Structure 1
Amino acid sequence: MKKTLLIFAVTLILLTISRHDGFSQSTTYPTIAEFTKGMEEKPGFFPLQWDENTGKIWLAIPKNNEEILYYPSLASGLGSNDIGLDRGRLSGAHVVHFRKAGKKLLMTERNYAYRAITDNAMEQKAVEESFAESVLWGFEISAQSDTHYLVDATDFALQDAVDAASAIRRRNQGNYHVDPKRSAIYLPRTKNFPENTEIEATITLTGSGAGGYLRSVTPTAEAVTVRMHHSFVKLPDDGYTPRLFDPRAGVNAVSFYDFATPINEPIVKRYIRRHRLIKKNPGPAPSEVLTPIVYYIDPGTPEPIRSALMEGTEWWAEAFEAAGFINAFQVKLLPEDADPMDVRYNLVQWVHRSTRGWSYGGGITDPRTGEIIKGKVTLGSLRVRQDFLIAQGLIADYLETGEVNDVEMLDMALARMRQLAAHEVGHTLGLPHNYIASAHDRASVMDYPHPLVKMSDNGQIDLSDAYDSGIGEWDKAAINMAYADFPEGSDEQQEIDKLVTAYRTKELDFLSDQDARPAGSAHPSTHLWDNGADAVQELNRVMEIRQQVMNDFSEKKIKMGQPMAILEEVFVPMYLFHRYQVDAASKVIAGVNYQYTLRGDQSPSPSPVDATEQLNALDALLATVSPENLQVPAKVLALIPPRPYGYYANDRETFQGKTGLTFDPLTPPKVAAEMTLSFLFHPQRASRLVAQHAMDESLPGLSEVMAKTITTINRFDAQTAYQEEIVRIVQKTLLNQLITLYQNGQASAQARALAFSGIKSLNESLPASGTPEQMAHQTYIENVIQALEQEPITPSKMLPTAPTPDGSPIGSESYQWLAPVCDFTVH
């Protein structure tokens, strides 16, 4: 009897515990109406309830367990390009559903990177259970109705959803975490709509160890307050038809494993990214569309920039018209009552930062199909000022009377804004960069354009054609391949093949980031910030313009009343005006012509650049490091004094000299010499030189290039002591580059062997001289080589490199200024 009572008591205790732990199968919840009495209701996609008394937001989640799209974003940011937490930044999108587990709703993300596209449910289940899913949050159920569960979404909304603390930490700007006491729901931007629910919160990150970037953009660095936004969005219906990816088409893709694929077919599937666009009258003939693509411009953009952005964005209408879509692409100003984070608005947003930085074209894509749901462009406001600065250095002639005529400079800056808007919107339409377009008469806004500066017949700088106007021929071809409505019953791949053949017949082509960005890349016509079909010819032309600008440089480049010291900021992009064309010309050396090809294409095989062209490129590059081209004109040196009180040095946009407050006349030559010689002796280029000469002795090899470089530099005719010192700088820089090549494990063994031989050759061929400066120079080189023969030389034992200022059209190739990916990155 006692044993029976004991078992009964234990059973009762366990049942009681199970109920409190949420495992009871018969839990009774209050109704949502009862629970939310007195709260402010916000009906919509996921009904919201706001409790003013507690500061809580309650979310009613449908019981149907249907998948939706969730993505967080940053409604207000830090204003620091270096940290990267910009106003309007989108985080990754997640396809989620809500699975009930006892008293919890688990917000679960399915792993769409691995699928089985089949009607066999068991085959689908096998894939789903083979790969991890992600539970993004667990909500406690507080009430229910026949159709919904009610959960407290406050803690969810107050999380660091965009991982801002990690972004701050990665940039060494301090250790921060969310402070719940200083965080709260931001009701003005918490809204509801029929197909999307938007929740916004004020989030305060507190911490210590704030770095300079963070301190410069926060009023109190120990408390960083931003606003984070959460979007719950109805997924598109099944009326969208995915289009298979083709690498020749110039369109971005989503990819995934399809384990239902037959064994004799590729398991990785790829769909292009594009907006849904359906004609009223299907087929290739021109037709209006059921729902146009509409882009909205941020009304916070000032004039005349706002109008320029609208004009540049509107260029894409021509591309869609050419593809057979009538009135399919439209541009409007964002309504005052619209929420920029609302998924219904494709947006071009104007963002302010404390420093100049990238612009982005991104958005939200349905990862299941590649359908673009929201296009989002972020444009940094300081970019336009950099273009104005370049124009200022080229043509400014401010009078002593104080009279100002900025019209031509403003025109160039606004022309760039039109092009930039079109470029970033192009990313949100699905297009990647096309860096070969500049070699085909500026055929695409998806290239990075350097201002095309010309010389008029009377010897004046001409900016009238600095930036092209309108969509290029490639852009029309790419939009056609992405969006064209093919004839009913046609084979899609065959139609794409026809379009590829058509654009290649017009001598257009497509090559993107992996072919252009790496400093050692091989294609002779694929570069960033270059111009012209012939990179070498354009370099020679740019050097002539650079010389003209240097000769004409004067105090008239700044306005009356401005400190003379800021002339340096105008001078830097003029001195380095050739920097990107040097990069372009270097790729001719050991260059290889090629295309993206599929089997069956009638495309030429990859082929090396002609030997004569390679040697012409070498001559042009070596001319850029001559003392005549590297010296800073004496009159410029006389113009730039030390910085006055209150005007601190702009270390990013100016040269980092070794002479203290005074302008260092030897640092600019060092920067420019390092730029040219580092491109020339890049490990990949050096290795290709070895390989191409081994395959064809008529092509130059690394030994020939090194020998000509050493001979040319050692024979420079220095006319002044200043030029003599520049020659010594170039020789030391060459030594550094050859040592770097010799010690680089990524270079081929023979390239490293030849680099070591070149090091000794450089030393042996130095001209004899009895001056103390030259003797010290030769002793330095001999000592470095002797040390190298004993053990590897660390960078600290080599001549320190000089940082290249960021004063260029967008910035340097460094992390701080160039993005990756200013691309279509968020999906």
Structure 2
Amino acid sequence: MRAAAATPLLLALLATALPLSPAASAAPAADATPAKSIADVTRNLQSQPGFIDVWRDTGKGRVLLSVATLEQPFLLVSSLPYALGSNDVGLDRAQPGEMRMVHFEKHGARLFLVQENTNYVANSADRDERAAVRESFSNSVLWSGDILASDKDRHLVDFSGFLLADRHGIAARLAGTKQGAYAIDPARSAVLAAEAKAFPDNVELEALLTFAGPGQAEFVKQVGADPASLSMRQRISMVRLPAADAWRPRAYHPYSGGFDASYFDFATPLSSSIDVHWQVRHKLEKTDPSAAVSTVKKPIVYYVDRGAPEPVRSALIEGASWWAKAFEKAGFKDAYRVELLPEGVDALDIRYNVITWVHRATRGWSYGNALTDPRTGQILRGAVTLGSQRVRQDILIAEALLAPYGKSSGSDKQKLAEQMALARLRQLAAHEVGHTLGFAHNFAASRMGNGSVMDYPHPILKLNAQGEVDISNAYGVGVGPWDDYIVKYIYGDFGGGAQEQAALARLRAEAGAAGMLYSSDQDDRTPGASHPDGLLWDFGPDTLKTWDQLGAVRQRALQTFSPDVLPDARQIGELEARLVPVYLLQRYQGEAVARLIGGGDFDYTSAGDVKAGIARAGVKATPPEVQRQALNRLTDSLRAEYLALPANVLDILTPPAAGHERNREYFATRMDSVFDAFSIAEAAAGHAASFLLDAGRINRVAWQHARDSKQPGVQEVLAQTLQKTWKRDAVPSSVIGGEAVQLASNWVVADSLLRLLDGGQLHPQVAAEVRQSVRELAQWLQKNPGKGVTADSRRQAAEHISAYLSDPRTVKLRPAPTAPPGAPI
């Protein structure tokens, strides 16, 4: 069909609706204002020349940037000079954000800031090949602004709009932690123009951001001056990219013990993987590459926050300095050091590696961030955050174990408590700095004693010859053999190419032959994790021996628990908070014992190392006799003899005094303000049951037994669990409140079994075994009613289980009991 001819009226309408083409547009009027130069716009403004020239307009509260290079990538990262102060929300002082690679583009009369998609690249000399990948995946425009003036290829923009936006994700973090919907209030936010700084390789810009929100949630109410109005500062750092040809990246290996930077490279040969991984590390170059040990062109220097008080400051410097010996063993002399941050230096300046002492309302995690070049893994800055209240928790644990405040105790025990806390702080400083050097956790290093500062260390506790708790050597000193290995592997200079790869293979072989085990976060943090060596907060080469050792310490500490665990000035209600780490002293070793049940260890390695005999493939199951010993110990912790408190503890526990209140460091109570002996037993039993009756563990037990009938099966695990709880003999009368405590544990086990069935994570055939065991339990309870309160619980439990098995939808399952936080210790 032919198109209809345009009528005169339609042509007239089009002429009014559409802009004229440039060729047809009218010429500018003769008296039009000529375009301003950058000098015109910036007259009377303070100049900050640097990587990107900055002008401070303090009168109007603006920051202007003069952009000279377009399409040239650089790095951009946010951080928080002033923060929220809540460990639970996680917006900490000096916290860095995500490192992004960005560039400026010009479109018309505007500049655009574009984030490049560094996940998908083509590292090719062919321009078209690179373009094909770039055009296949989306970039992100982060900001645009009008060009205020131009001088040839240099363009001036007001960057204030970018600075006043939430670039750190503060609102998202508040929402994600259920603190409510917060948004920036522009009227109460401002660009801090006087804080703007420019240097040859970086620009530092800052803004005050005020977030308005409901102010009703727990964590913001805890820390906010006005929880409906949260004011923080946001730093934006713009950083010149390192020269690509001045850095030789090292291929990442799973057994390196380090982190990796990765992306998909579509320009790799067809026989190679497009999934490329580089070792994350600082740039470290010898002044004499041919020398076995040499000084370096530029040492790695870390600076400790001036806000850290003594004796904390000295402990941080000492602990963080431990890495110097490992670098020297790797061939680098005077290559690493730690100093106090010079007075007046901006601690958030991207050029400085800083260890920041951070205060929060509650104790919480410390962490280390390595800010890296996404193209190569080169670390550009190390940023360590150390929570100030953790050291106080170590003192609390030591005091609860030693009871040092009695009339006959003397000052030696008090000094021991502080020494233990400072020893832990040294180790913590080394640990978090290790992350910023590119090193990952190794939770298997505790099998080698003080094998690595990159493990999570439990204090090494024992009884001395007099039967007293001994904490004199609670934490190790210095880095361990694993740490020497990872420094040499990740930083050692081996010449590159095939020579380098051969040297690295030899290092891996030597480490494996020395028995250096490696297991990290992805395999060690879930309740059902299988690796029997990858354990957080454990110690010693033998899990069962350490369990017994800690059990003896726990028993002694409970027997001697008294008001002497508190300084005289503390309110007596705090006794209960001091009881928590003593009563739950074996909580982490209990997880270690559970790992042996359905346990299996394996190596992080490569196919080449397996073929070369350096490492092995597959998962090796824990021997059956070890699994049964572990099962026996873990189920014993569900018995009243383990869970009940002695009279000397029960008789002194007092509610918090006026002006004080219970918090998360206390056990839960359903008895108003009074200590609840039921809740404490439920918390401990629930902790053991959460590991023992985890779906992943039960599935593994079923498979291991199916493959090898000598291994314990699901029925054996459940039978022993029930034999120690619901089906046990009467509790001895010497156990105070023994029958009631045992019933509390029994109900935790029953509820855990039903949640195990209800979770939907068991394989059908495994669920059938569990269901049958639970059905048989209900039948046993009906046939063995018992007497008194035991009879009441058995009858109710039988009805509860039967109702669930008949129709799960009709039964509301109780949640797992909670324990006060243990980690971080």
Q: Do they fold alike, i.e. is TM over 0.5?
A: yes
Equivalent position of 2:691 in the other structure: 679
Contact kept? 1:716, 1:727, Cα under 8 Å? no
The one-letter amino acid paired with 1:247 is P
- Structure 1 residues 421 and 28, CA, compared in 2 at 3 Å: closer, same or farther? farther
Counterpart check, 1:704 vs 2:744: no
Contact kept? 1:386, 1:809, Cα under 8 Å? no
Deviation digits for residues 422-442 of structure 1 (CA, Å, limit 9, x no counterpart): 100000000110010011222
Give the one of 726, 729, 732 matched to 2:747: 732
- Structure 1 residues 540 and 750, CA, compared in 2 at 3 Å: closer, same or farther? farther
Contact kept? 1:743, 1:752, Cα under 8 Å? no
Contact kept? 2:624, 2:712, Cα under 8 Å? yes
Contact kept? 2:62, 2:193, Cα under 8 Å? no
- Structure 1 residues 594 and 42, CA, compared in 2 at 3 Å: closer, same or farther? same
Matches within 5 A, 1:512-661: 512-599=520-607, 600-602=611-613, 603-604=615-616, 605-650=618-663, 652-661=664-673
Counterpart check, 1:222 vs 2:231: no
Equivalent position of 2:788 in the other structure: 772
Q: How far has the Cα of 1:476 moved from its partner?
A: 0.9
Q: Secondary structure at the match of 1:544?
A: helix
* Structure-1 separation of matches of 2:105 and 2:299: 36
Give the one of 100, 112, 122 matched to 2:118: 112
Counterpart check, 1:783 vs 2:803: no
Contact kept? 1:189, 1:339, Cα under 8 Å? no
Equivalent position of 2:299 in the other structure: 292
Equivalent position of 1:314 in the other structure: 321
Contact kept? 1:738, 1:758, Cα under 8 Å? no
The one-letter amino acid paired with 1:627 is A
Counterpart check, 1:330 vs 2:345: no
- Structure 1 residues 710 and 52, CA, compared in 2 at 3 Å: closer, same or farther? closer
The one-letter amino acid paired with 2:682 is K
By relative contact order (CA 8 Å, sep 6+), the higher-ranking structure is 1
* Structure-2 separation of matches of 1:210 and 1:18: 61
* Structure-2 separation of matches of 1:203 and 1:535: 50
Equivalent position of 1:398 in the other structure: 405
* Structure-1 separation of matches of 2:33 and 2:381: 41
* Structure-2 separation of matches of 1:11 and 1:803: 68
Q: How far has the Cα of 1:507 moved from its partner?
A: 1.1
Contact kept? 2:755, 2:813, Cα under 8 Å? no
Equivalent position of 1:756 in the other structure: 771
Percent identical pairs in the alignment equals: 37
Give the one of 452, 470, 475 matched to 1:462: 470
Equivalent position of 1:822 in the other structure: none
Q: How far has the Cα of 1:207 moved from its partner?
A: 2.5
Q: How far has the Cα of 1:52 moved from its partner?
A: 3.0
- Structure 1 residues 29 and 233, CA, compared in 2 at 3 Å: closer, same or farther? farther
Contact kept? 1:360, 1:377, Cα under 8 Å? yes
Equivalent position of 1:820 in the other structure: none
Q: How far has the Cα of 1:400 moved from its partner?
A: 4.7
Matches within 5 A, 1:434-453: 434-453=442-461
Contact kept? 1:76, 1:88, Cα under 8 Å? yes
* Structure-2 separation of matches of 1:284 and 1:732: 68
Contact kept? 1:154, 1:185, Cα under 8 Å? yes
The one-letter amino acid paired with 2:626 is E
Give the one of 681, 684, 689 matched to 1:669: 681
* Structure-2 separation of matches of 1:28 and 1:404: 81
* Structure-1 separation of matches of 2:572 and 2:598: 44
Give the one of 711, 722, 728 matched to 2:737: 722
Q: Secondary structure at the match of 1:379?
A: strand
Q: Which runs of 5+ in 2 are unaligned?
A: 1-7
Matches within 5 A, 1:783-822: 783-792=799-808, 797-806=812-821, 808-810=822-824
Q: Secondary structure at the match of 2:111?
A: strand
* Structure-1 separation of matches of 2:16 and 2:218: 62
Deviation digits for residues 271-319 of structure 1 (CA, Å, limit 9, x no counterpart): 0100000111114611111000110110111110011110111001111
Q: How far has the Cα of 1:215 moved from its partner?
A: 1.7
Deviation digits for residues 427-460 of structure 1 (CA, Å, limit 9, x no counterpart): 0000110010011222111111111112111111
Equivalent position of 1:821 in the other structure: none
The one-letter amino acid paired with 2:456 is Y
Equivalent position of 2:195 in the other structure: 189
The one-letter amino acid paired with 2:163 is A
- Structure 1 residues 367 and 800, CA, compared in 2 at 3 Å: closer, same or farther? closer
* Structure-1 separation of matches of 2:180 and 2:702: 47
Equivalent position of 1:163 in the other structure: 169
Q: How far has the Cα of 1:793 moved from its partner?
A: 5.5
Q: What is the number of equivalent residue pairs in this alignment?
A: 802
Q: How far has the Cα of 1:224 moved from its partner?
A: 1.1
Contact kept? 2:524, 2:535, Cα under 8 Å? yes
Equivalent position of 2:237 in the other structure: 231
Give the one of 133, 138, 148 matched to 2:139: 133
Equivalent position of 2:288 in the other structure: 281
Q: How far has the Cα of 1:729 moved from its partner?
A: 1.9
* Structure-1 separation of matches of 2:794 and 2:305: 61
Q: How far has the Cα of 1:131 moved from its partner?
A: 0.6
Q: How far has the Cα of 1:654 moved from its partner?
A: 1.1
Task: Name the TM-score, length of structure 2 as normaliser.
Answer: 0.93
- Structure 1 residues 172 and 515, CA, compared in 2 at 3 Å: closer, same or farther? closer
Counterpart check, 1:411 vs 2:457: no
Q: Secondary structure at the match of 1:278?
A: coil
Q: RMSD over aligned Cα, in angstroms?
A: 2.4
Contact kept? 1:175, 1:210, Cα under 8 Å? no
- Structure 1 residues 329 and 480, CA, compared in 2 at 3 Å: closer, same or farther? same
Worse-matched range after superposition: 429-438 or 766-775: 766-775
The one-letter amino acid paired with 1:286 is V
* Structure-1 separation of matches of 2:790 and 2:73: 74
* Structure-2 separation of matches of 1:598 and 1:52: 57
Matches within 5 A, 1:43-62: 43-62=49-68
Q: How far has the Cα of 1:799 moved from its partner?
A: 4.4
Q: How far has the Cα of 1:797 moved from its partner?
A: 2.9
Contact kept? 2:74, 2:238, Cα under 8 Å? yes
Equivalent position of 1:429 in the other structure: 437
Contact kept? 1:735, 1:762, Cα under 8 Å? no
- Structure 1 residues 557 and 52, CA, compared in 2 at 3 Å: closer, same or farther? same
